[in-house]
Structure 1
Amino acid sequence: MKIALIGASGFIGTALLTEALSRGHHVTALVTRPERVAPQENLIIIKSDVLNTDALAEQLRGVDAVISAFSGHAQDDVYSYYIKGFNSILAATQQASVPQLLVVGGAATLEIAPGKRLLDTPEFPAEYRATAEGAQTALETLRAQTAQAWTFLSPAAEIFPGERSGNFRIGGDTLLTDSEGNSRISVQDYAIAMIDELENPRHTNQRFCVAY
């Protein structure tokens, strides 16, 4: 498949890039700093500005799917920057008539009890609140529209560099935990779940989650 990967040089984006290339997909990496992505076979690296919707749409034309690992972590106003970028990505994907949009989400929007999100707990770190609220708004935006087929994948509460085991569980809108109450996934296994969904869509127009 021909994939456009937005944010390919980030923590999760790098793992997604590695997984997609390992399966023989052709990837266009859209990044703000192309020098951070090493040239590889089946990889095109392009400098991109997600806030320029028309230019982004041109960069997306002809791909089979867009995977957005876009984040606003490095910005002063994380929430506003993320929402502007996400809305531009969604609009550009529609403008380019891309069949499928897959979005890297967060765990904070997952429920830990009926009607109660991880984000709602008093222990939720304040430094991640703007990012989490941005992901919540993005998910609500996707659910409210019908013009673009989409999938939103939330990781476990803890995502970390680890092993590519392929052994994990898939869930829906509820945070998955293990027998000891931990919610964990390696970024490598998160990438497997995302590319599996890309290749064999089972959660179109849905959010799903992954954890051990």
Structure 2
Amino acid sequence: MRIAVFGATGMVGSATVAEALSRSHSVLALSRRPGAEPDRPGCESRAVDIADHAAVKAVLAEVDAAVLAIRLPPGEESAVAGLTRGVLDAAERSGTRVLIVGGSAPLRSPGDPGRLLIDDPEHVPEAWRAVAAASLAQYRVCRRHAFTGWTYLSPPAVLEPGARTGVYRRGTTTLLTDAHGRSRITAPDLAIAVVNELEHPGEDRHFTVAAG
């Protein structure tokens, strides 16, 4: 499979590139800075501005699937919804599947299924609300878009660097926690879930994962 990874130099993007290459997929590693992701066997690095609709459309036309794993600088988070809409517009024309690694805000609170996680201060403190609001807006863009070839992956409350354990739990639209109420996963383990979903798409348009 040929996979485009937007945001290939970020924590999730770079882990996804590594995981896909380890399974012998062909990867197009995309970032804003030319040469930021070095070429490796099976991996081509390319500079692409995700706001350039023509460039995104051209990329999607040459791959089997795409992963959108972009993270914007502080203060610019709200732009992610519009950028995601542009990617879905391009994907609709090419028919390319898109997996969006978004945020946990659209999930339901494990303690109150009627409450979105963004409104649960136990898991989304005030300092995280701007990022959470951006991910909720991003998810709503996906839900409203005419293109149906997208999947939205909500990470747990804490997504962090760390080791690849090879184990994770999968859920649907409610935040997963462990016996101590913690909700976390490392980027390499999240990347396993990303590539698994590309290889064997599930029925859920929105799902979540957590450490095993």
Q: TM-score, normalised by structure 1?
A: 0.91
Please give the residue correspondences for 1:94-105 in structure 2 after superposition, counting only pairs within 5 Å: 94-98=92-96, 100-105=97-102
Structure 1 residue 75, shift from structure 2 partner: 5.2
Instruction: Show the counterpart of 2:114.
Output: 115
- The one of 71, 82, 85 equivalent to 1:84 is 82
Deviations 1:33-85 (A, max 9, x none): 1332122011111111111112210122121101100222x153321x21221
SS in 2 for 1:27: strand
SS in 2 for 1:162: coil
Q: Identity of aligned pairs, percent?
A: 37
Deviations 1:134-162 (A, max 9, x none): 22122122222342311111111111122
Q: Partner letter of residue 30 of structure 2?
A: L
The question of whether the paired residues in 2 share the 8 Å contact of 1:193 and 1:210 is answered with yes
Give distance in 2, aligned partners of 1:127 and 1:46: 34
Structure 1 residue 164, shift from structure 2 partner: 1.4
SS in 2 for 1:181: coil
Deviations 1:162-186 (A, max 9, x none): 2212222110110101111111111
Aligned CA-pair RMSD: 1.6
The question of whether the paired residues in 2 share the 8 Å contact of 1:66 and 1:93 is answered with no
Give distance in 1, aligned partners of 2:74 and 2:86: 17
Instruction: Show the counterpart of 1:143.
Output: 143
Q: TM-score, normalised by structure 2?
A: 0.91
Q: Partner letter of residue 120 of structure 2?
A: T
The question of whether the paired residues in 2 share the 8 Å contact of 1:197 and 1:203 is answered with no
Runs ≥4 residues deviating over 4 A: none
Please give the residue correspondences for 1:33-52 in structure 2 after superposition, counting only pairs within 5 Å: 33-52=33-52
The question of whether the paired residues in 1 share the 8 Å contact of 2:171 and 2:208 is answered with yes
Cα 1:77–1:164 shift into 2, 3 Å: closer
Q: Partner letter of residue 86 of structure 1?
A: T
Give distance in 2, aligned partners of 1:203 and 1:128: 30
The question of whether the paired residues in 1 share the 8 Å contact of 2:95 and 2:149 is answered with no
**5+ long unaligned stretches in structure 1:** none
Q: Partner letter of residue 104 of structure 2?
A: A
Aligned length, in residue pairs: 208
